[in-house]
Amino acid sequence: MNINRRSFLKGTAAGLAAIGLPVSKSHASFWESFFQKHYREMTDNEKDEVVKRLEVEYSAKYGKNFDVATTKPIDGALFGYGLDLSRCIGCRRCVYACTAENNQSRDPQIHYISVLRFKQGEKWVNDLEGSDKYYDPETVPEEGHFYMPVQCQQCENPPCVKVCPTQATWKDPDGIIVVDYNWCIGCRYCMAACPYGARKFNWGEPYLPENEINSQTHYLGNRPRLKGCVEKCTFCVQRTRLGKYPACVEICPVGARKFGDLNDPASEIRYCIEKKRVFRLKEDLNTLPKFYYFFAT
């Protein structure tokens, strides 16, 4: 089977030599990635093969050994997130911890978390036009302002998944919306559909400095991305499926960020939902986010 596939690839490569597409031996992985199947249609063996190819590719590119995991969702878990708006000081440490953890391109710059700043007493929640995400003071928090970080809300009813024409994005059983970067064709329909500005596109070739790379990756999470594909926050799927907190939760200096299993009655997130007055962003759209905002004090 394997030999057949390889000789098939070789034949195709020879045929395409005439039109100047990559054919040399060093480009073999180009064709393997070109014919790569949809992640959810791969057998475990096929996943291993792909992962091995990617690890070699990334190691060669970044001069570092890479791990690309395919860890499955934890049985019975459904992840939820809480954000205490009364604590958030708008320091954006979460934004940069996220970038360091998730290997987003540094140039062009991609951030998963947008921290919105509002003037106290002005419109917010349903009219975000008064928000400023490019605020840049000497120190935070600023007098007369408050902050609302927004990232992927991991909707139970995700509009982005509904519109994707190739099924390149889907909701895994633990409630996380993931993207198969290799299957995404870059049509950006999901970006038009997302009500939270959570989806980001690689407009150029992603650039990552070698000394800032996180080599512990997941196929559906923080592995290096491709030019022209869409990506998004996965609640750090590479960490949470191993029982760790997302990077943004861990870094938050004021403890504004809570995370846990919605199906576990003893979890921190369940405590917040049951004891605090929570709300979700744009509830009128019925996207059913698993991201809860609340005021603890």
Residues engaged in binding other proteins (CB under 8 A): 34, 38, 41, 108, 114, 116, 126-131, 133, 150, 159, 162-168, 182-189, 191-197, 199-205, 226-230, 285-286
Residue 116: CB minimum distance to other proteins, A:
6
Task: Give the integer Cα–Cα distance in Å for 198 and 204.
Answer: 18
* Structural contact between residues 26 and 3, judged by C-beta atoms closer than 8 angstroms: no
Return the number of the residue (101 or 231) whose C-beta is nearest other proteins.
Answer: 231
Spacing of C-alpha 52 from chain mean position: 22
How far from each other are the two terminal CA atoms of the chain, in whole angstroms? 62
Return the number of the residue (97 or 150) whose C-beta is nearest other proteins.
Answer: 150
Residue holding tokens 């180009």?
Answer: 30
* Structural contact between residues 5 and 49, judged by C-beta atoms closer than 8 angstroms: no
Please compute, for residue 63, the number of CA atoms within 13 A of its CA located in the half-sphere on the CB side. Answer: 5
Return the number of the residue (203 or 279) whose C-beta is nearest other proteins.
Answer: 203
Return the number of the residue (175 or 206) whose C-beta is nearest other proteins.
Answer: 206
State the burial class of residue 197 (Cβ atoms within 10 Å of its Cβ: 0-12, 13-18, 19+).
middle
Any residues with CB less than 8 A from the CB of 238 and at least 6 apart, and which? 69, 71, 216, 217, 218, 221, 222
Return the number of the residue (41 or 75) whose C-beta is nearest other proteins.
Answer: 41
Residue 242: CB minimum distance to other proteins, A:
29
Task: Give the integer Cα–Cα distance in Å for 212 and 37.
Answer: 30
Residue 115: CB minimum distance to other proteins, A:
10
Please compute, for residue 234, the number of CA atoms within 13 A of its CA located in the half-sphere on the CB side. Answer: 31
Return the number of the residue (73 or 228) whose C-beta is nearest other proteins.
Answer: 228
Task: Give the integer Cα–Cα distance in Å for 205 and 227.
Answer: 5
Task: Give the integer Cα–Cα distance in Å for 41 and 47.
Answer: 9
Return the number of the residue (37 or 276) whose C-beta is nearest other proteins.
Answer: 37
Residue 161: CB minimum distance to other proteins, A:
8
Residue 15: CB minimum distance to other proteins, A:
15
Residue 170: CB minimum distance to other proteins, A:
10
Residue 175: CB minimum distance to other proteins, A:
19
Any residues with CB less than 8 A from the CB of 198 and at least 6 apart, and which? 112, 150, 151, 152, 153, 232, 233
